[in-house]
Amino acid sequence: MSLGAGLRLATGLLTVVPVRSLDDVLELPATDPAAARRTGGAAMLLAPVAVLPLAAAAALVVAAGDLLGLPALVVAALVPAVLALGTRAMHLDALADTADGIGAGWDRERALEVMHRGDVGPMGAATLVLVLLLQVAALTSLVALPWAPLLVAAVVVVSRGGCTLACLRGVPPARQSGMGSLVAGAVPVPVACVALLAWTALLTGAGALAGLAWWQGPVAVLAAAVAVAALLRTCQRVFGGVTGDVIGATIEVMLLTLLLTLTVGTS
How far is it, in rounded angstroms, from Cα 122 to Cα 86?
25
**Cα-based distances in Å from 114 to 103, 104, 117, 232, 238:** 9, 7, 5, 18, 12
pTM: 0.93
DSSP 130-199: HHHHHHHHHHHHHTTSTTHHHHHHHHHHHHTHHHHHHTBTTPPBSSSSSHHHHHTT-B-HHHHHHHHHHH
- Measure the N-to-C terminal CA separation of the chain; round to a whole number of Å: 44
- Residues 49-89: tens digit of each pLDDT: 999 999 999 999 999 999 999 999 999 999 999 999 999 99
How far is it, in rounded angstroms, from Cα 146 to Cα 144?
7
What pLDDT does residue 1 have?
Answer: 45
Residue ranges of the chain with pLDDT lower than 70? 1, 21-33, 105-106, 118, 267
Task: Say what angle helices 216-239 and 108-117 make with each other, to 10 degrees.
Answer: 110
Residue type, 217: G
